[in-house]
Amino acid sequence: MSTDSDHTHPIPPAFQEYDTQKLRQSPAFGHGKHGIADLVVGREDDKPTRLLSDFLRVPYHLSGTLDSDPVDELITVCLQDPTGAITQGDRHSLTVTARPDAHAHITNQSASKVQTMKASYAHLEATLIAESGAYLEYLPEPTILNEDARCLQTTTVEMAPDATVIVGDVFVPDGLSAHEPFSFDHYHSRTDARVEQRLICADAVNLQPAQRDPRNLATIGEYTVIGTLYVFSPSADVEAIAEMVHQRLTDHEGAAGVSTLRDEAGITVRVLGDRSTDVTAAIEAAWDETRRELLGVGAPLGDR
């Protein structure tokens, strides 16, 4: 079965078909279109977490790490992309390994703007590995799809039973130009999480507006923006986290729900709204509440 790399999800059949379409410009995986970021963070004793190694290929760029987080042992890594957009044939692969007891927050500089396409597709892949006692956050800026865009977004989480991984995602379907919402071609986002090879979460959002309008009661109803927060923390008091997040989102503009995962391995938060700012604010509120429960310190929302 076709895959884009050694540790990715299997490529869905529709995207395999897109991949057979020839590109007039640089081909898929061509120069400047095969971005790789391979990061390893580690921590020794009670010292702050450090970036132990990094390998990057254009368009990924990294200027260094930040130590501005209110959690002393936690570092922030902000990935940059000088191209400013995701185009047809782009393949971006991020891998983050958090060594035992490391604490890290991974984000990016700006929203991922997926441009109009005439052939192929774009694949945004993330693999997050959290070893014993590690705490790893991956909260990129929103993904924005323009007219006729095709985007496959896959996230794989592999973690130890006493580790924590938090993943955030906000999807905006109306692009940056004057066209109707949901005029993109295909958006498929999938997140899988495993604790010692045991699957605890398999969640997917698969939207093809030309085949089925997502604005129905079974999908997203009257809303347009979709936000999700995954909290994978098997050793935490998951019920307490779910209750606190639920209370925090009571006054959210739009619709929001909190669910616990199998074997109480974590929670998922789904948020629907009309504006990306409202949905992002709700996801950040859930993240902040989760941090207070897990770390005793809220999220650095003023710095985002």
What is the pLDDT, as a whole number, of residue 176?
Answer: 63
What is the pLDDT, as a whole number, of residue 6?
Answer: 43
Segments in the chain below pLDDT 50: 1-2, 5-7
Strand partners, 140: none
Distance CA 301, CA 304 (A): 5
Q: E strand or H helix at 17, and its extent?
A: helix 13-19
Cis ω before 142 (30° cut-off from 0): no
Distance CA 165, CA 104 (A): 10
Radius of gyration (C-alpha) of the chain in whole angstroms: 19
Tokens of 27: 């081909």
Q: pLDDT tens, 169-226?
A: 999 997 666 667 899 999 999 999 999 999 999 999 999 999 999 988 888 989 999 9
What is the pLDDT, as a whole number, of residue 177?
Answer: 65
Answer whether 147's CB lies under 8 Å from 184's CB: yes
What is the pLDDT, as a whole number, of residue 2?
Answer: 47
Q: Which residues of 2-34 are buried (b: 16+ CB within 10 A; e: fewer)?
A: eebeeebbebbebbeebbeeebeeeebeeeebb
Distance CA 20, CA 18 (A): 5
Tokens of 53: 């190694």
What is the pLDDT, as a whole number, of residue 39?
Answer: 99
Distance CA 215, CA 182 (A): 9
Q: Hey, CA dihedral for 24, 27, 31, 36, is it positive or negative?
A: positive
| C-alpha torsion angle, residues 266, 271, 275, 276 (rounded to 10) | 20
Q: Hey, CA dihedral for 87, 19, 97, 237, is it positive or negative?
A: positive
